[in-house]
């Protein structure tokens, strides 16, 4: 190939005829057996970044940081910036990963993880948008279509789907619940498997041990309704 830049021991050293317009900087960056594959427009900066056997489907990949996307072979449209970020991706496409060890165990497509250790041990999550230092960092995240924003938000989320969690340390109890909206610093549900609750307010924790609860306010005063109640009666909770 032509128009490539390779700097570093064994950087881009096994591409032969067709790889073009690539930048590989660092020890064994893009070191995989590319051979005659038509791999183009990749950027690999950092030791062992993009070091697997890339195919033409991986063209345009951007990996910056030691071991960033080190196992990628055919996934398209991936960007991974940060030490060990996205290091388990192989064929999954369309992931944007930014942060120290962010989404380092991820294997599925169509995700955004931004923040130091965001989605740290997420594996088969799909359609996730996770932004914040340590957000979704403790649970092995496998659920789909979750939006989590805030430092340490959704900390333990695993197989829950379609949740919206916004706020520092918000929703940290939730693991497998679905269709919840939790907004506010330290706002949370009362149970790890709670479903279809709406909790909005700083420090507010769901005050009814049930699914399908709406509660708005703060840790001292809130308006609460159990939507499973046919009458839909609201109750005001004060200093509880």
Band of pLDDT at residue 1, cut at 50, 70 and 90? confident
Asked if residue 160 has pLDDT above 60, the reply is yes
Asked if residue 232 has pLDDT above 60, the reply is no
Q: What is the share, in percent, of the chain residues with pLDDT greater than 90?
A: 92
Asked if residue 230 has pLDDT above 60, the reply is no
How many whole angstroms separate alpha carbon 187 and alpha carbon 83?
31
Asked if residue 233 has pLDDT above 80, the reply is no
Band of pLDDT at residue 143, cut at 50, 70 and 90? very high
Q: How much is the pLDDT for 236? A: 57
Q: How much is the pLDDT for 2? A: 87
* Nearest by Cα to 149 from 114, 120, 173, 180: 114
Digit-coded pLDDT (tens) for 56-70: 999 999 999 999 999
Asked if residue 155 has pLDDT above 80, the reply is yes
pTM for the whole structure: 0.94
Q: How much is the pLDDT for 229? A: 80
- Mean pLDDT score across all residues of the chain: 95
Q: Which residues pair with 6 in a beta bridge?
A: 24
Average pLDDT on 149-177 reads 98
Band of pLDDT at residue 92, cut at 50, 70 and 90? very high
Burial class from Cβ neighbours inside 10 Å (0-12, 13-18, 19+) for residue 99 reads: buried
Digit-coded pLDDT (tens) for 107-123: 999 999 999 999 999 99
Asked if residue 238 has pLDDT above 80, the reply is no
Average pLDDT on 29-38 reads 96
């Amino acid at each position: 190939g032509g128009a490539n830049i390779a700097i570093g021991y064994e950087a881009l050293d096994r591409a032969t005829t067709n790889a073009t317009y690539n930048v590989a900087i660092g020890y064994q960056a893009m070191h995989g057996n590319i051979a005659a594959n038509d791999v183009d427009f990749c950027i690999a900066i950092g030791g062992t970044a993009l070091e697997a056997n890339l195919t033409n489907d991986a063209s345009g990949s951007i990996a910056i940081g030691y071991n960033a996307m080190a196992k990628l072979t055919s996934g398209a449209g991936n960007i991974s910036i940060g030490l060990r970020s996205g290091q388990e991706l192989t064929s999954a496409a369309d992931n944007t990963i930014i942060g120290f060890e962010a989404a380092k165990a991820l294997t599925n497509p169509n995700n955004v993880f931004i923040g130091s250790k965001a989605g740290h041990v997420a594996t088969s999550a799909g359609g996730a948008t996770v932004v914040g230092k340590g957000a979704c960092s403790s649970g092995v995240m496998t659920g789909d279509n979750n939006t989590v924003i805030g430092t340490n938000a959704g900390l333990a989320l695993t197989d829950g789907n379609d949740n919206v969690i916004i706020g520092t340390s918000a929703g940290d109890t939730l693991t497998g619940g679905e269709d919840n909206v939790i907004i506010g610093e330290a706002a949370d549900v009362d149970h790890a498997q709670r479903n279809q609750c709406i909790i909005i307010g700083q420090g507010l924790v769901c005050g009814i041990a049930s699914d399908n609860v709406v509660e708005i306010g703060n840790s001292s005063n809130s308006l609460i309704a159990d939507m499973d109640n046919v009458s839909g009666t609201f109750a005001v909770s004060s200093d509880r």
